């Protein structure tokens, strides 16, 4: 991707829309640029004025002498295309359009936005916005925003699709002395998007953490590839709602369980991204991660002056996958020496209600030396004798002197306000609610999980599509909406990747069914074809455990009659299979994010997500599923299986013989290969796959394709 150097570090700036009215956006932006200390020339542009803000004002950008690296446009939307064309005459490389009134207002605005995009592409102008707050870069003293305050300098790079969220984060940060290296509002993303900024920030050593509020992903797969290539820099994302993608076949088990939000969660987790679900968690996670303190294995010590918070925090720590640190014998002995005899040291270290600042100091000196401790939560509740400000000074001193992550949790309101103010002044993250502290600590711990969990394999889609044997046959059924592949073609695709299938055939007469039984033997299963009925049990289109000719006769003609009523076919075909006796039924499915070009260089989306879990007719009821993004290694597939409760059963719970987990992994690998060979597959559902001690048999396979 092209460097954003001139955007982040322009030598000169023009602001279009500056006026004599100081409250207008153009005037506010120019004032912010000047007050931030930008070193280069700043030119106001407005044909109505000869002088603006005390300096010469130009009628057009093209009338300014010398080169212009960056133009900020703050004029009504209908005038933006003309300004863009004028910028092209000046060979301006970067434009920030803060003006609103584009696609967010409907069709008329969308046409205007498309015109802006066309001009930008024609003349090679890179555009931030429109409908954005602007950007700020601390290293170059650039504040090209209309924010009410300037961001402090720091090591957090933040971008948002919502200017309001930019303002909210900035306000939170100002109250806590949290600084940013870069602060970007993307708006409508007509050109520059998160991929451009993340690519720059991942390479920038001055950026310690990247935070994002994203409503839509420009290209999820490419974003994750970027992040996975730099696994040692934390990325925090708040993504509300659904991604913009093609409609899924939601009548499938897989579709119901693997909607777009679920795919996003799985994809981000697989890439090592920290996904949060609130603005508060986004801010606190970025704040704590910006310290750069490694919590290794997530072992937490609690030092508190009250037992209740210690118990509550213990529960929270466990729920977030952290653990209470097991203090060493040496630590426990040293605590006995420095604490009153009435206190029996353990973790949580309860200093009891009369603890003064000195007792906190003594406990911290000991616990901070324990090699079993990665992070320390220092809890204070205001009691009659509590030395709140003195204790805050003690905690702040230990925070500065220790390499461990020490988190002050001073629970309260008015009484702890002075302590929180002190922590903010010294740029020390502190909290007044236990949930906030543990959520932020858990985010740091998730990032510092062992790096092997973030490994992946490269995806070379063309390698797979080139070996596909049924491309033309699949293409005949591919439409703009999901279409179920005929059962016969589905079986051909399954055989192509060597899925384990039962003995089966498609018949259109009772005699053909009888002939199959004579070769296969009872018991057998009769069912509707996938293209006729998706959920067979809902309309009595499935007959199992058929054990005699009489039962076969009854089941065949009952099913045929039912299919005639439901499918409206005069002579519907029937699928007959040998019956597989399973020790466990599992679900294996796929759902695609993006269209069938998702793996192409210009394709958009996250790709295919694999789903595994408890199978059968109550799959959605149990909800015991795990998900991962294609492609995955064997190790990642095993880890995905282990995330389900079903995993314990498969591995032999309560003395039972283990089932063929290796065959499940083998099946998942084959399905993974299949969707890469045929990216037109939008949904795939094996429910159930019958698992025994030696097999994983796909007894019910449905495939949907879509452009």
User: What's the pLDDT score for residue 255?
Assistant: 44
How far is Cα 208 from Cα 205, in angstroms, rounded to an integer?
7
Torsion angle defined by CA atoms of residues 151, 201, 273 and 460, in that order, rounded to the nearest 10 degrees: 160
Whether 556 and 596 share a structural domain: no
Last residue of a domain, one of 579, 598, 626: 579
DSSP calls for 506-540: EESSHHHHHHHHHHH-S-EEEE--TTT-SSGGGGT
Nearest to 2 by CA among 125, 113, 99: 125
pLDDT score of 517 more than 90: yes
Strand partners, 484: 704
CATH code of residue 120: 3.40.50.720
47 — pLDDT class (breaks 50, 70, 90): very high
| Maximum CA extent, the chain | 99
How would residue 241 be classed by pLDDT, with cut points 50, 70 and 90?
A: low
Query: What pLDDT sits at residue 457?
Result: 52
Structure-block tokens of residue 296: 């290794």
pLDDT on residue 539: 75
pLDDT band at 531 (very low <50, low <70, confident <90, very high): confident
- pLDDT of 245 reads 38
With cut-offs at 50, 70 and 90, classify the pLDDT of residue 462: low
Closest-CA residue to 626 (of 615, 638, 613): 613
End position of a domain, from candidates 447, 477, 512: 447
Per-residue pLDDT, 296: 81
Out of 256-260, 393-397, 426-430, 625-629, least confident range: 256-260
Q: How confident is the model at residue 19 (pLDDT cuts 50, 70, 90)?
A: very high
The pLDDT score that the predictor gives to residue 258 is 43
- What is the residue whose two structure tokens read 């793996």? 599
Which is nearest to 247 in space by CA: 482, 447, 14?
A: 482
Whether 410 and 304 map to the same domain: the answer is: yes
Nearest alpha carbon to residue 387 among 357, 364, 360, 358: 357
Which one of 165, 187, 207 terminates a domain? 207
What is the C-alpha separation between 139 and 146, in angstroms, rounded?
Answer: 19
Judge contact between 338 and 355, C-beta under 8 A: no
Cis amide bond preceding 632, omega within 30: no
- How does pLDDT run across 127-143, given as a tens digit for each residue? 999 999 999 999 999 99
Evaluate if residue 252 carries a pLDDT over 50.
Answer: no
pLDDT at residue 263 tops 90: no
Contact in structure between 519 and 559 (CB atoms under 8 Å): no
The pair phi, psi for residue 251, each rounded to 5°, is -85, -5
Structure tokens at 91: 């060979």
In-domain check, residue 288: no
Residue at 224 is within a domain = no
The answer to the question of residue 62 being in a domain is yes
Q: Find the helix or strand (DSSP H, E) in which 357 lies.
A: helix 357-367
Please check whether residues 615 and 572 belong to one and the same domain: no
Does residue 45 contact residue 16 with C-beta atoms inside 8 Å?
yes
What is the pLDDT, as a whole number, of residue 287?
Answer: 97
pLDDT at 613 over 60: yes
Mean pLDDT score of the chain: 92
**Predicted local confidence at residue 611, as pLDDT:** 95
Could you read off the pLDDT of 327-366 as tens digits, one per residue? 999 999 999 999 999 999 999 999 999 999 999 999 999 9
DSSP string over 635-688: HHHHHHHHTSTHHHHHTTGGGPPP--HHHHHHHHHHHHHHHHH-TTEEEEEEEE
Domain extent for 42:
5-207
Please determine, for residue 676, whether its predicted confidence score (pLDDT) is greater than 90. yes
Structure tokens at 236: 């925090």
Residues 593 and 556 in one domain: no
Asked whether residue 218 is assigned to any structural domain, the reply reads no
Does 537 share its domain with 409? no
244 — pLDDT class (breaks 50, 70, 90): very low
CATH code, domain with 664? 3.30.470.20
- Domain assignment of residue 341, yes or no: yes
Instruction: List alpha helices for 431-582, DSSP H.
Output: 434-447, 461-465, 471-475, 487-496, 510-520, 549-567
- Amino acid 254: pLDDT: 42
Q: Are residues 26 and 39 in the same domain?
A: yes
Asked whether residue 664 falls in the same domain as residue 529, the answer is no
CB of 269 closer than 8 Å to CB of 226: no
Q: Which residues are CB-contacts of 518 (< 8 A; sequence separation ≥ 6)? A: none
- Tell me if 455 is assigned to some domain: no
We report the CATH number of the domain holding residue 555 as 3.30.1490.20
| Closest to 46 measured CA to CA, from 65, 72, 11 | 72
Helix ranges restricted to H, 306-401: 307-319, 329-338, 357-367, 388-401
Query: What is the distance between the alpha carbons of residues 535 and 512, in angstroms, rounded to a whole number?
Result: 25
Mean of pLDDT values over 42-47: 98
Q: What is the CATH number of the domain that holds 314?
A: 3.40.50.261
Query: Does 546 share its domain with 410?
Result: no
DSSP codes of every residue in 108-128:
HHHHHHHHHHHHHHHHT-EEE
> Do 128 and 36 fall within a single domain?
yes
Q: What is the pLDDT of residue 250?
A: 32
pLDDT of residue 222: 93
470: pLDDT strictly greater than 60 = yes
Domain count, the chain: 4
Based on the fold, state whether residues 627 and 695 are members of the same structural domain. yes
What are the backbone dihedrals phi and psi of residue 705, each rounded to the nearest 5 degrees, phi first?
-120, 155
Token code pair at residue 333 = 């002995």
Average pLDDT of the residues in 68-96: 98
Neighbours of 134 (CB within 10 A): 28
Q: Identify whether 271 is part of a domain.
A: no
Supply the pTM of this predicted model: 0.89
Are 195 and 226 within 8 A, CB to CB?
Answer: yes
Cis peptide before 526 (omega within 30 of 0): no
User: Which pLDDT value is given to residue 514?
Assistant: 96
What is the per-residue pLDDT for 371?
Answer: 96
Identify whether residues 66 and 180 lie together within a single domain: yes
Higher pLDDT, 328 or 104: 328
Q: Which pLDDT tens digit goes with each residue over 538-596?
A: 678 899 999 999 999 999 999 999 999 988 899 999 999 999 998 999 999 999 999 99
Q: Determine the pLDDT at residue 364.
A: 98
Select from 538, 539, 533, 507 the least CA-distant residue to 520. 507
- Are 610 and 630 within 8 A, CB to CB? yes
CB 628 within 8 A of CB 636: yes
- In the predicted structure, residue 600 carries a pLDDT above the cut 80: yes
d(CA 94, CA 97) in angstroms, rounded, equals 10
Query: Do both 410 and 358 map to the same domain?
Result: yes
pLDDT of 450 over the 80 cut? no
Task: Classify residue 114: in a domain, yes or no.
Answer: yes
């Amino acid at each position: 991707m092209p460097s954003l150097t001139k955007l982040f570090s322009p030598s000169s700036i023009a602001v279009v829309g500056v006026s004599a009215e100081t409250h207008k956006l153009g005037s506010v932006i120019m004032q912010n640029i000047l007050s931030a200390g930008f070193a280069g020339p700043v030119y106001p542009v407005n044909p109505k004025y000869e002088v603006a803000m005390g300096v010469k004002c130009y009628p057009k950008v093209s009338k300014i002498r010398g080169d212009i690296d960056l133009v900020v446009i703050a004029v009504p939307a209908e005038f933006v295309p003309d300004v863009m064309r004028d910028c092209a005459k000046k060979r301006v490389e970067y434009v920030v359009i803060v003006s609103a009134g584009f696609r967010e207002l409907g069709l008329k605005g969308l046409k205007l936005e498309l015109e802006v995009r066309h001009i930008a592409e024609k003349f090679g102008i890179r555009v931030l916005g429109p409908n954005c707050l602007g950007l700020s870069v601390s290293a170059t003293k650039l504040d090209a925003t209309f924010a009410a305050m300037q961001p402090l300098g720091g090591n957090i790079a933040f971008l948002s699709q919502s200017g309001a969220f930019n303002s909210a984060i900035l306000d939170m940060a100002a109250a806590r002395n949290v600084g940013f290296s870069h602060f970007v509002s993307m708006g409508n993303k007509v050109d520059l998007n998160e991929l451009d900024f993340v690519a720059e920030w991942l390479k920038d050593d001055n950026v310690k953490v990247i935070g994002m509020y994203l409503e839509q992903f420009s290209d999820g797969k490419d974003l994750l590839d970027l992040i996975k290539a730099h696994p040692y820099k934390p990325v925090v994302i708040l993504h509300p709602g659904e991604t913009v993608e093609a409609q899924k076949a939601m009548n499938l088990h897989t579709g119901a369980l693997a909607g777009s939000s679920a795919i996003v969660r799985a994809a981000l987790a697989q890439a090592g991204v920290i996904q949060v679900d609130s603005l508060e968690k986004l801010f606190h996670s970025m704040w704590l991660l910006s310290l750069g303190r490694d919590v290794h294995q997530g072992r937490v010590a609690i030092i508190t002056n009250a037992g209740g918070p210690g118990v509550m925090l213990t529960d929270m720590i466990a729920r977030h996958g952290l653990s209470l640190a097991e203090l060493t014998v040496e630590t426990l002995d040293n605590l006995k020496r420095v604490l009153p005899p009435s206190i029996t040291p353990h973790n949580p270290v309860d200093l009891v209600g009369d603890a003064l600042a000195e007792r906190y100091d003594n406990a911290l000196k000991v616990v901070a030396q324990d090699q079993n401790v990665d992070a320390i939560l220092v809890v204070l509740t205001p009691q009659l004798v509590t030395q709140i400000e003195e204790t805050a000074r003690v905690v702040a001193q230990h925070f500065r002197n220790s390499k461990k992550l020490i988190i002050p949790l001073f629970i309260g309101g008015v009484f702890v306000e002075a302590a929180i103010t002190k922590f903010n002044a010294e740029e020390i993250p502190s909290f007044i609610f236990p949930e906030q502290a543990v959520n932020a600590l858990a985010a740091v711990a998730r990032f510092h999980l062992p790096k092997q969990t973030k490994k992946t394999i490269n995806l070379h889609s063309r390698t797979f599509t080139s070996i596909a044997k049924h491309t033309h046959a699949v293409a005949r059924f591919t439409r703009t909406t999901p279409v179920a592949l005929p059962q016969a073609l589905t079986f051909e695709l399954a055989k192509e990747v060597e899925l384990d299938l039962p003995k089966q055939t498609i018949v259109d007469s009772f005699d053909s069914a009888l002939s199959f039984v004579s070769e296969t033997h009872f018991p057998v299963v009769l069912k509707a074809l996938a293209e006729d009925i998706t959920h067979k049990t809902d309309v009595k289109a499935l007959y199992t455990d058929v054990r005699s000719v009489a039962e076969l006769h009854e089941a065949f003609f009952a099913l045929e009659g039912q299919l005639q009523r439901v499918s409206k076919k005069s002579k519907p075909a029937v699928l007959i299979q040998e019956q597989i006796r399973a020790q466990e039924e599992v679900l294996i499915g796929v759902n695609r994010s993006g269209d069938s070009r998702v793996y192409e260089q210009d394709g958009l989306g996250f790709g295919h997500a694999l789903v595994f879990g408890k199978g059968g007719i109550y799959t959605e009821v149990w909800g015991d599923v795990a998900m991962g993004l294609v492609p995955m290694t064997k190790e990642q597939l095993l880890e995905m299986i282990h995330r389900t409760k079903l995993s314990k059963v498969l591995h032999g719970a309560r003395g039972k013989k283990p089932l063929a987990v290796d065959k499940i992994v083998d099946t998942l690998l084959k399905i993974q290969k299949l969707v890469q060979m045929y990216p037109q597959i939008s949904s795939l559902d094996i429910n159930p796959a019958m698992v025994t001690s030696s097999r994983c048999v796909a007894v019910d396979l449905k495939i949907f394709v879509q452009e």
